[in-house]
Structure 1
Amino acid sequence: MADTDAPREFAFELALCSHLEATTEWVVSRQLGATVDRAGRRIVDVVGVAPGPGFDRRAEITDRSVPIRAIESDVGAGEAVPRNRVLPEMASETRDAIVDTAVDAGFFATERRDGREYVRQTTRYPDEWFGRLVGIENKPDLGDPGALDRQLRTDVSLGLFDAVVLATESHVTRAHLNRIPAAVGVWRFDPETGTREEIRPPASLSPDEPGIELVAERPLRTDVRPVTAGEKARARRRIAERAYGKGWRTYDFPACAHAEATDDGRPYCAQFERVVDPARTCGDDCDAFDPAEPPDVSTGALRDERSTWRRDPPGVRRRQSGLDRYI
């Protein structure tokens, strides 16, 4: 194996996602951009999306993410719009990509009239389909905090989430708590037993109010950007949509004879008897690698069975069998 140590943070993250999926009503996802100015600047390890009053209506539309620009466009459910007038402020290639993605997801439908293509919504978008958003930063070993303080300060000052939590496997001391922003909750989670202890509850943040985004930090200088409540609302919708479509089983299973899947769909190596990160530890660089067909796992079926997410709802045309094997 390329790395003889278990990919601790990866295994910890997947175990926590599985635990939250089993013990909450949340839509659970991982590795999502969670800023306003540039989504990739801050990647949150795990996001929990609590269902809102319109959740069932949202679940009926599509099991994929709906593009935010499609939701915000002038295309409505009552009247079709010429395709070339959808998002007219955007370059044609970008506009076409958004429209095509929305059509593929089943949120837009197209029709032709007199040789022109028109676009309409298949249904009205339910704005209140999600409630609370919970952001979770994983740090199994608090003895190696890395950029933890900056990451958590960013989350609290921006306030995109209703609550922010730090999840760790370490014993949490008073000194640890004093170094963590007071608004951040702390969980101690054992990935082997799946037990979670709340050391400190998270404070309620203010996603409906303006926030401050940390843009860059330099010696003796921190660049920040004020963020409006409207910008935060749009970012929250983007996060929720991305979480709904992505989920947390975002890996391919290794094409190795030793590769297996746990009951909840995590990649497991029978040779080394542990959950592995296929992208980092499997393949030709592994001494035990034995080429074979990957495990036959439908992660979409597992997610449908174990969570509130709904696979292939009535609002989506059926896809060819096999195309969503690893969705």
Structure 2
Amino acid sequence: MPARRLRSPVQEFGFELALCAHLEETTDSLVARQLGAAVASPGSRIVDTVLVEPGPEFDARTRITPSTIPALAVESAAGVGRATYWKDAFDCHPDVARRVADRAVELGFFERERRGGREYVRRTTRYPDDWFSRLVGIENKPDLGRPGDLERQLRTDVSLALFDEVVLATESYVTRAHLNRIPEEVGVWRFDPDSGEREVVREAATLSVADPGVELLDERPLRTDVAVVGAGEKARKRRRIAERAYGKGWRSYDLPACARMSLTDDGRPYCEHFGRVVDPGSDCGESCPGFEASDPSELGLDAIRAERSPWVREPSGVARRQSGLDQFG
């Protein structure tokens, strides 16, 4: 791959979307972006791109709902064959339990009934734990000349081992010095967002996702704070990442009400005024010199995702009417 002019920070969003589109086209995986990947310190680590490889029960998951099933609903004590009093189904604050139960019913994962003035819930189907197999976490850093916290982030990803593989994707020419500064387990891709050409500079090692991991919390002179994350905690987090990825995907942006906005064939937001893919969340609006007001776009991002990925937009559903459900009111 020849040397290229590097992108500005504004265009890093375009690099990320181009890589997502490329991976969706060239793999059988679900592709999602901007997902949390910390356990002990939630929110402290956001992974740019995640690949979810389908498992043997993938079809069973697609039949339930196209949306993310709330983690607390999946982890609840509500079963399939026997209804449970809704408060007893959850180990959390009743207000949170109420919201989760309502959402699970809305999605068709729960159904409910009343008995003697009390509400009970049951699952409409067994949750298919084997619907996904491997997870790949990708850190996008188009310009290695501005690494930021790259080394620390990748060391945390490797030591925690939530992902079966961790990869660094860049547009930069990758030198031996670059490779020496990141963990040897991390794979490296060089990706050209214009041509869609992807070069594997270094293969990623397979990490021990079934074993306990170590999450880096803080680094200071003469002191490093870490947390040991058990295998069970990791398994729950992996399921939550996969479930969130299924519902969210990578086209997680709202299109502006601008006549200059259109979509590429793979669903990236393209601005005719600037002649490139833009980030609607930061680049668009009435203050933009190219803004031309129009009715909100009716372009279907979900339809594009359904056509180009294993995700199912309109599943058959799994809800079953149980005796007593018609008494709910």
TM-score (norm: length of structure 1): 0.93
Alpha-carbon distance between aligned partners in 2 of 1:62 and 1:8, rounded to the nearest angstrom: 34
The residue that corresponds to 2:13 in the other structure is 10
Q: Which amino acid aligns with 2:98?
A: D
Which residues in structure 2 correspond to 1:186-265 (within 5 Å)? 186-265=188-267
| 1:294 CA drift (Å) | 3.5
The residue that corresponds to 2:108 in the other structure is 106
**SS in structure 1 of the partner of residue 219 of structure 2:** strand
The residue that corresponds to 1:28 in the other structure is 31
Q: Which amino acid aligns with 2:128?
A: P
Alpha-carbon distance between aligned partners in 1 of 2:70 and 2:56, rounded to the nearest angstrom: 21
Contact 1:6–1:276 (8 Å) recurs in 2: no
Name whichever of 212-221 and 302-311 sits farther off: 212-221
Q: Closer, same or farther in 2 for the Cα pair 1:93/1:147, shift >3 Å?
A: same
The residue that corresponds to 2:308 in the other structure is 306
**SS in structure 1 of the partner of residue 287 of structure 2:** coil
Name whichever of 137-146 and 5-14 sits farther off: 5-14
Kindly indicate whether residue 58 of structure 2 is the aligned counterpart of residue 45 of structure 1: no
Q: Identity over aligned residues, as a percent? A: 62
The runs of at least 4 aligned residues of structure 1 exceeding 6 Å deviation read none
| 1:195 CA drift (Å) | 1.1
Q: Deviations over 1:45-69 (max 9, x none)?
A: 0000000111111111111111222
Q: Deviations over 1:69-126 (max 9, x none)?
A: 2112111110111223221x32110110111121122111112233322100000011
The residue that corresponds to 2:130 in the other structure is 128
Contact 1:9–1:140 (8 Å) recurs in 2: yes
Partner of residue 187 from structure 2, selected from 185, 188, 209: 185
The residue that corresponds to 1:60 in the other structure is 63
Q: Which amino acid aligns with 1:296?
A: E
Partner of residue 273 from structure 1, selected from 240, 252, 275: 275
Contact 1:60–1:314 (8 Å) recurs in 2: yes
| 1:284 CA drift (Å) | 2.4
Q: Which amino acid aligns with 2:31?
A: V
Q: Deviations over 1:269-294 (max 9, x none)?
A: 00110000011111122122121124
Kindly indicate whether residue 167 of structure 2 is the aligned counterpart of residue 165 of structure 1: yes
TM-score (norm: length of structure 2): 0.92
**SS in structure 2 of the partner of residue 22 of structure 1:** helix
The residue that corresponds to 1:323 in the other structure is none
Alpha-carbon distance between aligned partners in 2 of 1:121 and 1:24, rounded to the nearest angstrom: 32
| 1:190 CA drift (Å) | 0.6
The alignment's C-alpha RMSD in Å is: 1.5
Alpha-carbon distance between aligned partners in 2 of 1:84 and 1:147, rounded to the nearest angstrom: 43
Name whichever of 218-227 and 236-245 sits farther off: 218-227
The residue that corresponds to 2:89 in the other structure is 86
- List gaps (5 residues or longer) in structure 1: 318-327
Alpha-carbon distance between aligned partners in 2 of 1:6 and 1:184, rounded to the nearest angstrom: 24
Alpha-carbon distance between aligned partners in 1 of 2:297 and 2:269, rounded to the nearest angstrom: 9
**SS in structure 2 of the partner of residue 39 of structure 1:** coil
| 1:193 CA drift (Å) | 0.8
